[in-house]
Every structure is written in structure tokens, then in C-alpha cells.
Structure 1
Amino acid sequence: MFSVHVRLCCILVVVVCVTRSVGVQLPEQFQKSNHTNNWAVLVDTSRFWFNYRHVANVLSIYRSVKRLGIPDSQIILMISDDMACNPRNPRPATIFNNAHEQINVYGDDVEVDYRGYEVSVENFIRLLTGRVPPETPRSKQLLTDEGSNILIYLTGHGGDGFLKFQDSEEVTSQELADALEQMWQKRRYNEIFFIIDTCQASSMYEKFYSPNILATASSLVGEDSLSHHVDAAIGVYIIDRYTYYVLEFLEKVYPDSQKTMSEFLAVCPKSACLSTVGVRRDLFKRDPSNVPITDFFGSVRPVVITTEPIDILDIPKRKKTEHQNKTKVLEKRVYLPQFPMHLVKSST
């Protein structure tokens, strides 16, 4: 009887610990999502040294979503040109997103899935729709399902109704809309948050007709998206204005953040962006002001609670040696801020 009682107590303790450690209690005003997993598709479509800022854009977003919990196994990173290895780069193997060079966003933990000429319109559409060749490795597949929330971020050069890939081909707004419809018909997503930072960016979401898509763009039709600042040591613009203010906002977001998607959509007013940020919410069922930003930038980790007995073995304690008795200071590992702290406004 005593043994059974101990086992039951262990079960209760394990269940309580698991349920408390996973998941954040959201305020009542937040609408609950039906998604069970998060994915991110991050794409830089341009080449050449003078487009350095586009690589910095996508790597900065990549670092932010990783910090907020989306694992590399659920991030598809596509980079057309490797600026870190460009012979014009005065600091080889590095990419910075601000002139203060606070942090190298091309660090050791960056996993690029598509690089160089692999970043093409065909591969991008195949990735979204799941129509990849059979020999495609898992790391290059978007293995989503009907419970997946997907963040899609695109940066590069575009125009009215098209986005250029590699300065040699284009994906049109209609092709993109049809690809998203295929995804919906094949139950490849629950909700999509679509972000695009390019000139005349809003033209790329005008043709969308599939449900559960929230979209935002750095500029309206007829407007250009502008760069933020130059790094004189590198000699090129190193980040775009819209993405700069997006990152400044994301640096103040944590896994337990109560910030909403409506706050994100208002992150760059025209006075800051010098272009008008476009938003399309008619296809999205939920109210963005009641949707936590972590529904797209965070990670969902389902917990399976078991009622079966769990045997906890009594592991004998080892005798401490003189070396082990010495006090050790554990090294605390955290993500460094992407911007110098004096440039990031304090949260209100």
C-alpha cells in the first residue's frame, strides 16, 4: 500500500510540474488559437553587395523567432547571397544589422536551408505547397499541418504585383495567392501571418483569397520602402527602415509577453518609416487586438499528461570529492540584444 501511495504522489507531482512549466497563462481578453505548432519561412530574394541590408533583414528576424522559441527544425531560411563571404566584406564571416555592430547576426548557430541559386521562384512555390522532389531532405521541407501557424517574411526588391528573385525572375501576386490557396486546400496551415518588406509591398497581398491570413507590408502601391542607415565601415545600407522598427519592437517581446498583433501592426508609423505600412485583416477571423504576438513569433509545445504509474529509481548518491566541494558559479546563457540598449526605448 505504501509503495502504491508513493507512486501516486509521484504521478501528481509530475503532472503539476509539467502543466505549470509549460505554457503561459494568457489574459482573458486574448482569443485562444487552435494551432498546435509554429513555423517560420524567412526569405531574402536579392543578390549583390549593395543589397547587404536584405540579408541583415532576414537574419535579424531569424534570430528573433529563435529567441522566442521556434526551433531551427521549424524554420526555413532562404538567403540568395552570402554577404558574410563576399570579397567586399571588410569583416569576413560577419553580418551586422546596425552601424554600432552590436552583434553579428551571422553567428555559429545560423542554419541556412536554401542558399544561392537554390533561392528561386520554383523552389519557393514548391516549398509552400509541399510539391518538393522525393529526395528533398527534411530540413528543406515545410512539414506543416492543419494545426500550424506560419510566419512568412519576405524581403528584397519588388514592384506593383511582383517580387524579384535573384534579379532574374519574378513571382507575381497571383502566383503567391494561388500557392497559399493550395496550402489551405491541402490543410497545410491553421493561420498565416504574412510580412513583406519591399517597394510597393502591399500589392503582393492584394490578390490573397484564402482564409485565416493576416498580412502586413512596408509600403503601399506607388511607394518605395527605404533603408534606415549606412555603416561607413562597410559602405552600404545595412538594414531597411520597416524591419529596423520591427526588430526594435521584437527586442522587448518575451515568451510570456502580453503584447498583441495589433501593436505589431502599428510598429512603424509613416513618420518613422517614411512609407505607409499596409495591413490586410479581412481574411483573418480573429481580432488582432486580442491575438498575442507569440501566436506567430513564439512556440507551442504540447504536453501529454499520463495517468500511468511512473517508477522513480532511487539513485545512490556519490561521495563528493574535494574538487566537487568547491563552489561553482554557473554560466548564465542569454540572447544578447540586437541593438545597443541606448537605442532601444524602454518598454512602457
Structure 2
Amino acid sequence: MNSFIPVLLIIFYFTQSQTWEIPENFAKTGHSNNWAVLVDTSRFWFNYRHVANVLSIYRSVKRLGIPDSQIILMIADDMACNPRNPRPATVFNNIKQHINVYGDDVEVDYRGYEVTVENFVRLLTGRLPPDTPRSKKLLTDEGSNILIYLTGHGGNGFLKFQDSEEITSQDLSDALEQMWQKRRYHEILFVIDTCQASSMYEKFYSPNILAVASSKVGEDSLSHHVDPDIGVYIIDRYTYYALDFLEKVEPSSHKKLSEFLKVCPKHYCLSTVGVRDDLFRRDTKTVPVTDFFGSLRPVELTDNIVNIPLALNESETIEKIQQTDKKLHYIKQFPDISTYVQ
């Protein structure tokens, strides 16, 4: 019970104070938290590069401070332990194999056959069954900036999910509109790495969305390089150069979104990166990359004095805490059973 006394004392300070004044507009912000929804829509060994793409982005946003509790990761999860994998329990995104992006701290929220169009749309719109675990929910609000990253196989106006179904550009745009109507986001950075990727954002009509695609309509999105030891392509070109940029970003970085939009010119990507910014209200030259790829701890400064007076009986309360405080010590991990051994 003693551990609750300091907390009760603080509450008492606040409730008893009559002179505690908070300046007007203190701690008010339109952007209060960041989330990431990272989806690999394909499966099977020859699509190794797609899971490497999404795990690489996952690693980057975690490094920049977004916690696992605010990241939704959807992957088939069939690469690390695939019988064809010469390096079991690993996924690499570079021929040098110096970073295992699968690691030992990857938290997969939707895996295998859970990666469906229905689950993806329900996740975005918040229409999940009541018994859905918290880790499978996108608990965003009107102050949330959301990074949505998709990779897989697509075509003109559709993206395939595990070679069994597809989501259309109209389905996706309607889901985002539901999010806006339900106040589930503040701004969205939509990034998609697939063939004819820009066709997926052509029908967007909701505000505050910045969309980036690895290829325009009629173009393929190409892979970067093969790892001869693994025997497959291990990363796509757009994501490779996006990661090269993100690796140079720190939580305190001043790099802007306008720089991120230029990470893969055509002579690198061999496809034309598409950008749609007419729905986005801010100038990308003023928006930090960390507004979407990093964590957010809103702090507002004030020149005014915030008075938090102490309770009248503070000295008595502290004295009582000191009198009742007991020294704690660790007990032995295993009991002494020597007296019971004959």
C-alpha cells in the first residue's frame, strides 16, 4: 500500500489547488501520435524481396522511435523458415547479409492467411470484431499521422493479395474516406511499391493524403539485385533507395518529405516514381520526414508561469511516508531445502 502514497499525494495537490492556472491553448496540437501500417501482400519463396521490403521499412520506423504497439505488420511470414532458405530464421535485404531484418524482435500482427483484403479494410476502417486483440487494431484518432506502406504484385487499378484475391483502387480510396469520416487520421503518407503502382492512388478523394508510388501506369516496378547464396532477388529498387535515405535520418533530423520524394530518380529505379500531393495541405518542403517515419512527443513551450502549489499538509504527509517506509530486499531465487535433505 505504501507505493500508492506518492501518487495520492500528487492527486491531492491537483484537486486541492485553487490557484493552478493553465495558459490558454497550452498542450493543444492537431498532430499528436504516429502509426505505421506495413503490408506485404504476396507469399511464396520467389517473392522473397517483398517481405524484405516491408521488414526493412519496419526496422526503419522502429529505429526512429515508433513502438511496436503503434505498428501493424502484415506478412505471409513464410520466408525465414522456408525449406529453401539456406540461412534459417533470417531475411536479408542486401547481398552483403550484414543485417538480418527478421531479427529477434519482429512482432507480426497478421500472418499467413490472415493477410486478406477483408482484414486490411477492416483494420483501416476500425470495423473489427469485438474480441479482436488490441495488437491487431489500428487505434488511431484525429491526431494520428499514419504511414501506410504496401508491397506486392499489382496491375492497373488493383493489388493482389497472396495470389488469391485483389483490392482495387476504388476499394482502397473508399476505405480511406471512411477513415476520414470517422476521424481516424490527421494525415496519411501512402507509399506503394508494386507494378503500375500509381494507379492505386488515382481515385483517392479524401483530404490530407500524400501518396507515393514506385511506378506509373504502364510501368513495371523492378527488383534491385540477386543474392546468389539465397538464389532470389532480395529487394526492390524503390525500397532499396528509400532505405538508403532513411538510414541517414535520425530522430532529431531536419530532413524534409520533399527530399524523400526524390530518393529514386528514373536512372536508379528504371521506373517513374509517381507522387500525388494535391490532397495534402502542407508544403512537403516544410514537413519533417519524422512526421511519418518517427515517433512524436509533442512539447509546447510557454512564457507564462504555471503555479502548482503544494498541499497544506505536505510536510505531515512526507513525514508519515518516511515513518512507514520499509527497506526491501530480494529473496532467494530457490528456497533452502538443506534442512529437509537427510
- TM-score bracket relative to the smaller structure: 0.7 to 0.9
2:266 maps to 270
| Residues 1:290 and 1:92: Cα distance change in structure 2 (over 3 Å) | same
* Pairing of 1:279-318 with structure 2 (within 5 A): 279-302=275-298, 307=308, 309=310
* Candidates 43, 52, 60, aligned match of 2:39: 43
Say if 1:33 and 1:295, in contact at 8 Å, map to a contact too: no
Partner of 2:81: 85
Equivalent residues of 1:246, 1:264 under 8 A apart: yes
Deviation of the 1:300 alpha carbon: 1.0
Cα offset, 1:33, TM superposition: 7.4
For 1:49, the aligned partner's letter is: W
> What's the % identity of the aligned pairs?
81
Post-superposition shift, 1:81?
A: 3.7
Closer, same or farther: CA 285–50 of 1 in aligned 2, 3 Å: same
In 2: Cα distance, 1:218 partner to 1:306 partner: 53
Alignment-derived partner of residue 120 in structure 1: 116
Number of equivalent positions: 289
When residues 306 and 248 of structure 1 are mapped into structure 2, their CA distance, relative to the original with a 3 A threshold, is farther
Task: Determine if contact 2:227/2:233 at 8 Å carries over to the other structure.
Answer: yes
In the TM superposition, 1:70-81 aligns within 5 A as 70-81=66-77
Is residue 254–residue 288 contact of structure 2 (8 Å, CA) maintained in 1? yes
CA deviation digits over 1:269-308, x for unaligned, max 9?
0000000000000000000011111100111124699835
Distance of 2:68 and 2:307 partners within structure 1: 28
Once the two structures are superposed, what CA deviation does each residue of 1:25-62 show, in whole Å capped at 9, x if it has no partner? xxxxxxx9721000000000001100000000000000
Q: What do residues 194-233 of structure 1 show as CA deviations (whole Å, max 9, x unaligned)?
A: 0000000000000000000000000000000000000000
SS of residue matched to 1:73 = helix
The yes-or-no answer on 1:197 pairing with 2:193 is yes
Do the aligned residues in 1 keep the contact of 2:34 with 2:296 (CA within 8 Å)?
yes
Q: Structure 2-normalised TM-score?
A: 0.80
Label 1:234 to 1:303 Cα distance change in 2 as closer, same or farther (>3 A).
Answer: same
How far, CA to CA, are the matches of 1:47 and 1:124 in structure 2? 16
What do the CA deviations read for 1:62-85 (whole angstroms, capped 9, x no partner)? 000000010000000000242001
Structure 2 residue runs of 5 or longer lacking an equivalent are 1-27, 301-305, 328-342
- TM-score for both structures, normalised by structure 1: 0.79
Which of 211, 215, 228 aligns to 1:232? It is: 228
Map 1:207-246 → 2, pairs under 5 A: 207-246=203-242
Matches of 1:93 and 1:269, distance apart in 2: 34
Supply the distance in 2 between the matched residues of 1:48 and 1:152 (Cα, whole angstroms).
Answer: 23
How far apart in 1 are the matches of 2:307 and 2:40?
Answer: 43
Which residue number corresponds to residue 96 of structure 1?
92
Secondary structure in 2 matching 1:111: coil
Distance in 2 between residues matched to 1:285 and 1:158, nearest whole Å: 28
Letter of the 2:80 partner, please give it.
A
- For the Cα contact (< 8 Å) 1:46–1:81, is it kept in 2? no
Give the corresponding residue for 1:19.
none
What residue identity is the alignment partner of 1:245?
Y
Partner of 2:23: none
Larger radius of gyration: 2
* Separation of aligned partners in 2, 1:47 and 1:274: 24
**1: CA distance, partners of 2:307 / 2:57:** 37
What residue identity is the alignment partner of 2:279? L
Task: Give the Cα separation in 1 of the matches to 2:74 and 2:150.
Answer: 10
Query: Is the Cα contact below 8 Å between 1:220 and 1:275 reproduced in 2?
Result: yes
Structure 2 letter corresponding to 1:307: I
Distance 2:76 2:158 in 1: 17
The question of 1:252 aligning with 2:253 is answered no
Which structure 1 segments of 5+ residues have no match? 1-31, 319-348
SS of the residue aligned with 2:249?
Answer: coil
- Superposition RMSD on alpha carbons, in Å? 2.4
Structure-2 separation of matches of 1:212 and 1:140: 25
